[in-house]
Amino acid sequence: MTAEAPSRPVAERGFRTQGLQRNLRGLLRLLAALFSRPTSALGTAIVLVFLFLAFFGEQVAPYPDPNDQSHAVFEAPTLELGRLSLGDYPFGTDRLGRDVFSRVILGAASIFRVAGLGTGLAVVAGTVLGLLMGYQGGLFDEVLGRVIDAMLAIPALLLALVAVGIIRQLNVEPGTWQAELAENAVLLVIGILYLPIVARVVRSVTLDIKTREFIEAAQIRGESRFYIIFREILPSVVPALVVEASLRFSYAIFLVASLGFLGFGIRPPSPDWGRMVSEARSIYRLAPWALEYPAGAIAALVVGVNLMSDGIKRALQKSA
């Protein structure tokens, strides 16, 4: 009497479980590699701290309301590292009596939401477009390649300013999808700006991979184009894609801060590090801390992401 073969749903669940376990082991190996080098460990630690603040900022911030103006204006910072004491206003207060420490903490959520989701949008759309361009080739690749070249010829900040300005000038009724589009203008613009760069990187890798033997074997077996692109080529593109995504994220952080500085960033009442720096310029002699701490947060996060990105690149090259 032969044992019955496991049913298909059970087998599929087994395969999914094995896949999740492999992904988890790969993530753990990547984290171990990141923390094995001092620079990448420092960068990863910085990013994790800001990520923690993005999720739990309201619980950590001394004053959860970023627009609380009930405090004295121009209070000097009370932070004392030697005594490990925060005091009432660790980063001081600004010209409106708002606690700078709380606003820097709460601003992490805004920067991660806009820069992170914008980068994610660019990576997903750019990956699909780059895979199709690289595998399809021909006129499709040629036409889209020229469009991408034209987009990349325009300075990113200039294009972002024009796009955000146009979207926000639209007369829309509250509660409609057009209103949501205007509210998330910066996020969408980041996705559109960095999509061509991601697509070009993925296309370049795809052109190299599609000539390899395992792709030819899949074509001989009669596999569909969809299967070859997303089951054979995509896994080989992931390492380069991870590095590119981390780099785009660091550029997105700086772009969001730049737009905020120019008055086109995240809308109030959400705190925006770039807008905080802009507002503090005129009072720098009276309250330099109101400018230095949000500017320091921008610099720290960008440097942290870049160091982590370099560590990811080295770890993936070592495992290749």
Whether residue 8 is predicted with pLDDT greater than 50 in this model: the reply is: no
| Cα gap 311→317, rounded to integer Å | 10
Q: Are 219 and 135 in contact (CB under 8 A)?
A: no
Most confident of the ranges 78-87, 166-175, 184-193, 196-205:
196-205
- pLDDT per position as a tens digit, 36-47: 888 999 999 999
Token pair in block for residue 119: 């980068």
Give backbone dihedrals phi and psi of 113, rounded to 5 degrees, phi first.
-65, -50
- What pairs with residue 99 in β-bridges? 93
pLDDT in tens, 262-277: 988 888 778 899 999 9
Confidence (pLDDT) at 15? 44
Residue 143 CA to its chain's centroid (Å): 28
Q: How confident is the model over 173-200, as pLDDT tens digits?
A: 666 666 666 668 888 899 999 999 999 9
Structure confidence at residue 138 (pLDDT): 87
**Banded model confidence at residue 83, pLDDT cuts 50, 70, 90:** low
For 297, residues 6+ apart whose C-beta sits below 8 A from its C-beta are: 50, 104, 107, 108, 273
Closest to 190 (Cα-Cα) out of 170, 172, 163, 165: 163
Cα-Cα end-to-end distance for the chain: 46
From residue 295, give the alpha-carbon distance in Å to each of 177, 251, 263, 290.
Answer: 34, 15, 16, 9
Q: Which of 54-63, 220-229, 291-300 has the lowest mean pLDDT?
A: 220-229
pLDDT for 45-60, tens place per residue?
Answer: 999 999 999 999 999 9
Place of tokens 């990576």: 123
Which pTM does this prediction carry? 0.84
Average pLDDT, whole number, for the chain? 85
Q: Which residues on adjacent β-strands are paired with residue 80?
A: 85
Question: pLDDT tens across 9-34, in order?
Answer: 544 455 445 545 666 776 777 778 78
Residue 76 has pLDDT above 50, yes or no: yes
Contacts of 207-210 with C-beta under 8 Å, sequence gap 24+, read 207/134, 209/233, 209/236, 209/237, 210/134, 210/135
Closest CA relative to residue 119, chosen from 194, 199, 203: 194
Hunting for tokens 């992490």 — which residue is that? 108
Q: Is the model more confident about 5 or about 47?
A: 47
pLDDT at 13: 52
Q: What is the mean pLDDT of residues 280-309?
A: 93
On whether the CB atoms of residues 93 and 106 are closer than 8 A, the answer is no
Locate the domains of the chain by residue range.
51-319
User: What is residue 114's predicted lDDT score, i.e. its pLDDT?
Assistant: 92
User: 51-319: which CATH topology?
Assistant: MetI-like fold (1.10.3720)
Per-residue pLDDT at 29? 78
CB atoms within 10 A of CB 157: 15
State both tokens at 272: 């925006």
Mean pLDDT of 235-263: 91
Q: pLDDT tens digits, residue range 99-156?
A: 999 999 999 999 999 999 999 999 999 999 999 999 988 899 999 999 999 988 888 8
**In which residue are the tokens 């400018």 written?**
291
Residues 131, 139: Cα–Cα separation, whole Å: 15
Backbone conformation region of residue 79, classed left if phi is above 0, alpha if psi is from -120 to 50, else beta: beta
Q: Which two tokens stand for residue 175?
A: 């509660």
Q: Is pLDDT at 84 greater than 50 in this prediction? A: yes
The predicted structure's pLDDT at residue 270: 83
